[in-house]
Homo-oligomer: A and B are copies of this chain.
Amino acid sequence: MATLKDVAAAAGVSPATASRALSEPGSVATAGRERVLRAAAQLGYRVNPAARALRSGRSGHLGLVLPDLANPFFASVAKGVQARARELGRTVLVADTEEDPALELDLVARLREQVDGVILCSSRMPESQLRSHADAGRVVLVNRELDGVPSVSVDNADGVRQGLEHLRALGHRTVAYAGGPASSWSDQRRREAFAAVEGITVVDLGPGRPVAARGVAAADLALGSAATAVVAYNDLVALGVLDQLRTRGVRVPEEMSVIGFDDIPAAALVHPPLTTVTLPLREVGRRAVELVVATADADPSDPPAVVRELLGVELVVRGSTAPAAAGAARSQA
């Protein structure tokens, strides 16, 4: 493997000049610079990242910590992170916490030392622990907000608002919410948005794991209530609701409307196709990279610029929502 010294020798300059020619081309005379570049190409020179990292203190790596890679929500964010990081010439160290806060804590701690900055996605950590990491700097939160920490989130409240407006326009007056994990920041924001909407009675189906099985249970709960529509924490739950309503012989959307969140690929493939709130997840990932790179490159003595981004969401109306049945609700199952 060719080293910088080899390149310098081949180009007839000192290692320092060779280094500059490669990383600050402006600060080297044209003639020498070209000889260095040529020599580097000739020898197939590639900088040794470990040496660079040791000397400069920056690895060029970004850390991405998320609860579950197999969840399409996080996978989309990860894709956005990947894409932007690559454009910026940075590599991404990914860590899957398996939804386990203890493991998350451990992984974040370990990762911090190997990367220039960490993107912490939908953290399951309690606020106090989270703060201890975030305060050490170089952390950007995704889908969670905390005072004094940069973050990128989607506008959960507006998603709920759009969904409920849609339902209200269709004549629904009682809507059930099949919530997500109690510890979920997104779920808390959505609950608040529910509470803020007027003219609709909310039936709280309680918290639950964000999986289809939870939707199955929630569907029966909804059927036992006066609700004519169900809003689910995410599409997985909504799909479970749809499934169970079919099993119970309740027609969707005629007898019960269903709205999901996230717009995962499967949402458009089921029947009826799911009305859901689509989130700009790739863009969330991209913005998170911008933020974390900015904080990593910033002079640590500067006042930390805390940016909080909120990206817009959009209700996608498909086949799982329709006008509420006129008069009384459906016949009790």
Interface residues of A (CB under 8 A from B): 46, 48-51, 53-54, 59, 61, 68-70, 72, 75-76, 78-79, 82-83, 86, 91-96, 98, 107, 110-111, 113-114, 212, 236, 239-240, 243, 246, 265-266, 268-271
Contacts and interface: CB of A to CB of B under 8 A. Distances in A.
Q: Choose among A72, A78, A86, A266 the residue with the greatest number of B CB atoms under 10 Å from its CB.
A: A266
A46 B113 contact: yes
Copies in the complex: 2
28 contacts: A46-B113, A48-B54, A49-B59, A49-B114, A51-B54, A53-B53, A61-B93, A69-B69, A69-B75, A69-B82, A70-B72, A70-B75, A72-B72, A72-B75, A75-B75, A91-B114, A92-B93, A92-B95, A93-B93, A93-B94, A94-B94, A212-B265, A239-B266, A239-B269, A243-B271, A265-B266, A266-B269, A270-B271
A70 B263 CA distance: 13
Nearest to A236: B265
Secondary structure of the A contact surface, majority rule: helix
Contacts of A243: 269, 271
Nearest to A60: B114
B61 A50 contact: no
Contact of A95 (B46, B69, B91): B91
B50 A54 contact: yes
Nearest to A247: B271
Given A91-B111, A266-B269, A79 B75 contact: no
Nearest to A239: B269
Nearest to A96: B82
A246 B269 CA distance: 11
B70 A96 contact: no
A107 B86 CA distance: 9
